[in-house]
Structure 1
Amino acid sequence: MTTVQTRPAAAGDRRRWQALAVCLVAGFMTLLDSSIVNVALPSMERGLGADAADVSWVVSGYALTFGLALVPAGRLGDVRGRRAAFLFGLALFTVASVACGLAPSSGWLVVFRLLQGAASGIVAPQTTGLIQQMFQGADRARAFGMLGSVVGISTAVGPPAGGLLIQAFGVDDGWRWVFYVNLPIGVAAFCAALRLLPRTPVAEKRREGADLTGVLLLGTGVLALMLPLVQEQQWTGRAKWALVPVAALLLAAFWRWERRQGRRGNDPLIDLELFSLRSFTLGVLLNLVYFGGFTTVFFVYTLYLQNGLGYGALAAGLASLPFAIGSAVGAALGGRLVVRHGRKLVVVGLVGVAVGLLAVIGAVQLVQGPGAAWAAALPLLLAGVGSGVTISPNTTLTLTRVPVRRAGAAGGILVTAQRIGSAAGIAAVGAVYFAHLANHGTSVRALQLGLLTAVGIILVALVLAIADLRERLAHPEPPMGDGPAPEPVERTPTKA
């Protein structure tokens, strides 16, 4: 009798891990496209005759529409079904990728990149929501650890992958294969998702009205905030920063509107009660600050290697691999240890990142020349391990108390914080790097000042994590594994 009961349970357990693998493949593909394009920009300029403004929008347009789609798409998945939203976003991303590769002009390429970014923003919150739906306790932490590995690896692997494709298919048309490579992966992931992804539990499905006013206020607010950040180098002058107070007003109006929706018993885009959860509020803030420092490292480091030391696109990309390897190892460890150690892991991870980046600063001072990448490899490995131990546990801790029925919207908020933090960090660190380069012309010093700025941002995140750790020691919360049982998954009825 025992054997008969355990077989379906074992099959169901295997199926949810297979479903997670599908989500991670799709997440890797969509996140990779935010970094793989960077090394292909010179190829686009040559193959399409694109100017600086066009190639800037190929990068920044993707980030903009990605950030704008996250929260509404997460809410849509919560209400109408995460499986359907995931499949739609994945199909749209795959089609948009092929369209990018076939683009006859730089203008069309920008349009298709905007569509591709929006599709990526639809997929991302469904992944976190599905993890919340399918896993609990230690298994959920392990799943988020795998997702953290994907985030770190996809960010760092993009440049070398792009460099390999450019080298394989030539400078004129190599950039097109940066997009074509998504077609077989996207089709395979879509077919697997159709078979493996669970449907939204019956208890979660609700016929709620669309908060169109909330979508409009949040979308315009995020757009006004991100535009001057992602276009900081392209839009000269200070007039662009006038959009920041406009963004603050729009986001304040959004907050008031959502509170009003809640008081009237209507369906808000974001349930503001989520921010009454200390773990969620602090986790979102940590994500915002940490990604402001973490993602800027690749920006200034690859610029230094290519422009300062004359590295090719492939060599500069490969120089980032130690960070990617370390990040994968750190995220896997963090996913296994976070249930036992909690926020302490995030503190340890942030210290590791800061120490690793300070060691990179010292390494490029000691070895000024073609060997700089080798000298920085071990410090980057340490920083990567620290990053993995930061991102994975912070994601788990941020979402662990969130009700499953709000998991998509909560995941959208978390990733939106990442995107805004990344844009703000690149604007700040890029300003320091380019200002020193313009005034003094020493690329080593410009890199060091840029990395010091990134370390300063990461230390702010460390202070937040330590403050939260002290608060948790004074007022401990229940262990993560003691939460409510997972809600049932709707299954297709079978005939007797």
Structure 2
Amino acid sequence: MTDLQTPPVVAAPTPAPTRSGPLLALVLLGQFMALLDVSIVNVAVPGIRTGLGASGAALQLVVAGYTIAYAVLLITGARLGARHGYSRLFRIGLAAFTAASLACGLAPGTGWLIGFRVLQGAGAALMVPQVMSLIQRTFTGAARVRALGLYSAVLAGGMAVGQVLGGVLVSADLFGTGWRPVFLVNVPIGVLLLIASRRLLPVLPGDHGRRFDLVGLVVLAAALGLLVVPLVLGHELGWPVWGWVMLAGSAVLFGVFAVVERRIAARGGQPLVPGRVLRAPGLLPAAGAVFLIMAAFAGFLFAFALHQQAALGYSALRAGLLSAPPALGFGLSSLYWQRLPARLHRPLPPLALATTAGAYLLFGVLVSDGADLGLGAELALAVGGLAVGCAYSPLFAAALGRIDPADAADGSGVLVTVIQLGQVVGVALLGTLFLGRAALPAPPAESGRALLVTVVAVAAAFVLATGFALRTRRATAAGRD
């Protein structure tokens, strides 16, 4: 087998439990719920505005509060899992997420809803990093690569299913509850997962002797907060001066964080992100490729949904269904790329990313006139989704494959944060690019031209990711020698 199929590790992970299938289903369903709530609320915004009398700024905070808390606290959640036990933190995060979902569904006012959304994001940040850590510690070899493929499929599916499911629930208006089921749907699922977790999650005690890098944690959380808040809120508020000040402050604090971590390591301490994790062969270039893939994919789905609903007049449900082919292709190829001939596995990521760029460019040309989406455009999207999954999943395996299982939480926290930041940056930058060229609601032709410009930027991101994929290939080959 190639090194992408069965990446070696420094130490043997905990043997896979007998009920590895149910365990994987449990943690991935928790992951799926967390991803779902990034996008499911988007289609509920009009109902929230009417039902709670929310202002535009308040609605933006309802949507963004979850994403901000989630992105800022992910690495914190990973380190807490390493210290106190992955299974324990998964249950705590799941319980917090479920309780916050119930509170959101019952919120009597906009302020309450914003606060509960922040708590929901914090619960997700405690739960989600443990998913990757549990996969790293309980699966090995081909079983781990399959588990990572399923993880990638869930990641792709969550972005698309959120809009579809949200449209279904809001349109159904169950018992006259309007928008509230988009949050309440998490409650019965969360309760069932909590019950099942008592029997299915392995006993993986944390390392209580591991010191907690509080200074690094505070500096990194502040740097991430200063980065994410203006990216999430910037366009809606017209990119105010304070947003640019926060972005500049974020760059400064990331530099401070690097200095703090080096000094802690030099004193023999335990930094928040150990240098040996970042030095793992292939991790940094693979993380760069994953960041660009998620930025391009999430930003495209955002712009594409706006084009369909605000220019072509499609319903939220129809727009969600038409966004399914690329997500479905992404998920399927993430699962089954290993079935391709073994000689193709190592060159697969750069070839797949180049194909993805071409498919999206073709799509952009086909929709640039603002006409209804035809079969050719849908096929181009499906091919692009299939191709990008063939790059994403093996890159993910390469990034984590040479990390010591003892550092699984740290590696997971870094990669999950990269994924989330990629989504935030992609929606912010590509969304701004699209909306800067189409004043919505816009005529279909104007929106189509704006979408073409956006898709050119998406294709450029995939081309740049190709370069990172080639560097990953060289780094993992050198690490193997």
State the match for 2:456 in structure 1: 452
Deviation at 1:408, TM superposition (A): 1.3
For residue 87 of structure 1, report the CA deviation from its aligned partner: 0.3
For 2:82, the equivalent position in structure 1 comes to 78
Native 8 Å contact 1:47 1:171 kept in 2: no
Please point out which of 218, 221, 224 is paired with 1:216. Answer: 218
Q: Which digits, 9 at most, give the CA deviation of each residue in 1:198-231, with x for residues without a partner?
A: 1116xx6342232111111000000111111111
1:372-394 CA-to-partner distances (Å, cap 9, x unmatched) read: 16542211211211232222222
How far off its partner does 1:340 sit?
Answer: 6.9
Distance 1:160 1:224, change over 3 A: same
Counterpart residue type for residue 365 of structure 1: S
| Shift in Å, 1:253 | 1.1
Residues 234 and 344 of structure 1, relative CA distance in 2, 3 Å threshold: same
Please say if residues 364 and 375 of structure 1, whose CA atoms lie closer than 8 Å, have aligned partners that are also in contact: no
Whether 1:299 aligns to 2:275 is no
Show the counterpart of 2:330: 327
Does the 8 A contact of 2:226 with 2:247 survive in 1? Answer: yes
Query: Does the aligned pair in 1 maintain the 2:299–2:423 contact within 8 Å?
Result: yes
1:467 Cα shift? Answer: 3.5
Aligned to 1:53: 57
Cα 1:261–1:314 shift into 2, 3 Å: same
- Contact 1:143–1:335 (CA<8 Å) still a contact in 2? no
Q: CA deviation at 1:59?
A: 1.8
In structure 2, the CA distance between the partners of 1:358 and 1:279, relative to structure 1 (3 Å rule), is same
Superposition map of 1:246-265 within 5 A:
246-265=249-268
Contact 2:281 2:479 in 1 (8 A): no
- Structure 2 partner of 1:413: 414
Shift of the 476–416 alpha-carbon distance from structure 1 to 2, 3 Å rule, reads closer
Indicate if the aligned counterparts of 1:145 and 1:335 stay in contact, CA closer than 8 A: no
Residue of structure 2 equivalent to 1:108 = 112
- The one of 142, 145, 159 equivalent to 2:146 is 142
Is 1:44 aligned to residue 12 of structure 2? no
Q: How far 1:307 moved relative to its partner?
A: 0.5
State the TM-score, normalizing by the size of structure 1: 0.88
- Equivalent of 1:155 in 145, 159, 183: 159
Query: Which stretch of structure 1 is more off in the superposition, 88-97 or 323-332?
Result: 323-332
The 2-side partners of 1:353 and 1:46 are apart by 40
| Contact 1:146–1:335, Cα closer than 8 Å, also in 2 | no
Q: Percent identity?
A: 35
Alpha carbons 1:343, 1:465 under 8 Å: kept:
no
Which deviations, in whole Å up to 9, do the C-alpha atoms of 1:73-99 show, x marking residues without a partner?
111111211000000000110000011
Say which SS state the counterpart of residue 416 (structure 2) adopts: helix
CA deviation profile, 1:326-347 (whole Å, cap 9, x unmatched): 1221111135669875552222
Give yes or no for contact 2:31–2:131 (8 Å, CA) kept in 1.
yes
CA contact (8 A) 1:262 1:268 kept: yes
Give 1:66's aligned residue.
Answer: 70
- Equivalent pair of 1:433/1:447 in contact (CA under 8 Å): yes
User: How many residues in Structure 1 have an aligned counterpart in Structure 2?
Assistant: 463
Deviation string for 1:179-206 (max 9, x for gaps)? Answer: 11101111111111111111116xx634
Across the aligned residues of Structure 1 and Structure 2, the Cα RMSD in angstroms comes to 2.2
In 2: Cα distance, 1:476 partner to 1:29 partner:
36
> Which residue number corresponds to residue 232 of structure 1?
234
TM-score by length of 2: 0.91
Question: Mean Cα displacement is larger for which, 433-442 or 53-62?
Answer: 433-442
Query: Equivalent of 1:311, from 311, 314, 318?
Result: 314
Aligned equivalents of 1:225, 1:265: Cα separation in 2: 30
Residues of 1 paired with 2:116 and 2:374: CA distance?
35
Gaps of 5+ in 2: 1-14
Contact 2:226 2:249 in 1 (8 A): yes
Letter matched to residue 383 of structure 1: G
Counterparts of 2:303 and 2:176, CA distance in 1: 26
Q: Which residue of 1 aligns with 2:361?
A: 358
CA distance in 1, matches of 2:317, 2:143: 37
1:88 matched to 2:92? The reply is: yes
Q: Give the structure 2 partner of residue 483 of structure 1.
A: none
Residue 217 of structure 2 aligns with an amino acid whose one-letter code is V
Residue 312 of structure 1 aligns to which amino acid in structure 2?
S
Amino acid at match of 1:286: A
